[in-house]
Structure 1
Amino acid sequence: MADAVFFDLDGTLADTAPDLAGALNRLQREHGLEPTPFELLRPQVSHGVRGMLGVGFGLTPDAAGYAPLAARFLELYNDTLCVETRLFEGMEALLHSLDERGIPWGVVTNKAERLAHPIIDALGLSGRCACVVGGDTAARPKPFPDPLLHACTGAGVEPTRCLYVGDDIRDIHAGRAAGMTTLAVAYGYLGSAEPIDAWQADAIIAHPREILAFLKNR
């Protein structure tokens, strides 16, 4: 068993796509645009604001109109952070199993702390979660290992004894750079252009229940 398990948030621990897509669609309506279909937005959720505005408005962060749109998008999203957001099917059972075994678990996301903490709280996980590390917590966000190393320091565990689970290639890069065992989740958003089997994760899983089985077989 690992000494701790850390999860990415969007697309790994929880399905946040409906609320992020809803905020983008409301922003589009404010600008007289037709809403982008959900199936086109879902793969971009792991890329945050950049992904949403890239699909919905065709803008990159260096575009002149990007900054005000990004600020407004975050305002709209902040108002509906956890309306339709839910834990992925099977995740609560996994977390319960980790709790029973005394294995601490936490969240390491590139989402800003001011957004991540309210979501974890709304999902009823704050009292059980060992840490919530955001993209602005450490000096550098994923794919750098800084956030994961910060989480280990806070939890009092060694990175080489930990498991990191994520749905984006930068999650795997960050986990490997931190010296952790890594799992790539095939049920996630998979917004990377590189196929999941090329990410060099230690294993690929299709359902949260497989995480506990992986730990038992280590």
Structure 2
Amino acid sequence: MIEALIFDKDGTLFDFRLSWGAWTRNLLAELGDADGRLASVLGYDAARNDFAADSPVIAMTTPQIADILLPHLPGLGLEELLERMNQLSADAPMVPAVDLPAVLGALRARGLKLGLATNDTELPARRHLAGAGVLELFDFVVGCDSGFGGKPAPGQLLAFVDQCGLTPGRVAMVGDSLHDLDAGRAAGMHAVAVLTGIALRADLEAHADVVLTDISELAAWIDALAAV
């Protein structure tokens, strides 16, 4: 039986291209990327508003992305860059992948504990959830700066288990990237992939217990698992 779900944020609760394409465009504009060099570093195609499969924006933590950008930004310090990135993240126009209040509310009504583990920082994550009207549905919200590390390490997920009194084998990690699925496996959880990020089914299925179109299919998967 599944007793709890812990979600990735970007590409899982929110459509990745629509949400983080805007963040990336704004960041590049603020950094003055006239020649497209920084866009290339981030694996971002502005004309198509799309990301390469190995783009650091997809799965890396904010400090990791900053470390990649910093060598290309002479005269800009790490602290200032992180401040700019975090502010743009908090203000990013997030586009839900599904009707989040309805889908998450229905899962919560089943008695499931809900958590969020993101490689974004915690304050923007809370703002995004609040903006979507679902922050109060979550028992646990952490970012890469919350003291438990970032994915693919399992620290955030194990903190969810510990703080909510859960059994890892009865928890599912739900995400759109290999970082999410690998973290779930490392934590001893079920690994559920969704296709609302950049990765394709073929990229994810060998690493997941199941690949769903989006999180609206979770309830049916939980019921099918319980029936086995």
The answer to whether TM tops 0.5 is yes
Residue 197 (structure 1) shift: 2.4
Aligned match of 1:150 in 159, 163, 168? 159
Distance change in 2, residues 1:151/1:81 (3 Å) = same
Distance change in 2, residues 1:133/1:207 (3 Å) = same
Partner of 1:195: 203
Secondary structure in 1 matching 2:191: strand
Structure 1 distance, partners of 2:23, 2:35, is 13
Task: Determine if contact 2:184/2:191 at 8 Å carries over to the other structure.
Answer: yes
Secondary structure in 2 matching 1:204: strand
AA paired with 1:29?
A: A
Structure 2 distance, partners of 1:109, 1:211, is 19
AA paired with 1:201?
A: A
Partner of 2:221: 214
- What is the CA deviation profile of residues 80-137 of structure 1, one whole-angstrom value per residue up to 9, with x for unaligned ones? 6355313212443321211221211111111111221222222222221111011122
Residue 195 (structure 1) shift: 1.6
Partner of 1:41: 51
1:162 aligns to 2:171 (yes or no): yes
Partner of 1:204: 211
Structure 2 distance, partners of 1:143, 1:72, is 24
Residue 68 (structure 1) shift: 3.3
Aligned match of 1:181 in 187, 190, 193? 190
Task: Determine if contact 2:27/2:88 at 8 Å carries over to the other structure.
Answer: no
Structure 2 distance, partners of 1:69, 1:14, is 30
1:99 aligns to 2:113 (yes or no): no
Aligned match of 1:119 in 123, 128, 131? 128
More displaced, 201-210 or 165-174?
201-210
Residue ranges of structure 2 left out of the alignment (5+ in a row): 37-45
Q: Percent identity?
A: 26
Structure 2 distance, partners of 1:142, 1:205, is 21
TM norm structure 2: 0.77
Distance change in 2, residues 1:94/1:42 (3 Å) = farther
Partner of 1:56: none
Aligned match of 1:60 in 60, 63, 68? 68
TM norm structure 1: 0.80
Residue 207 (structure 1) shift: 2.4
Cα RMSD for the two superposed structures: 3.2
Distance change in 2, residues 1:90/1:42 (3 Å) = farther
Structure 2 distance, partners of 1:39, 1:86, is 14
Give the paired residue count: 211
More displaced, 17-26 or 206-215?
17-26
Task: Determine if contact 2:119/2:144 at 8 Å carries over to the other structure.
Answer: yes
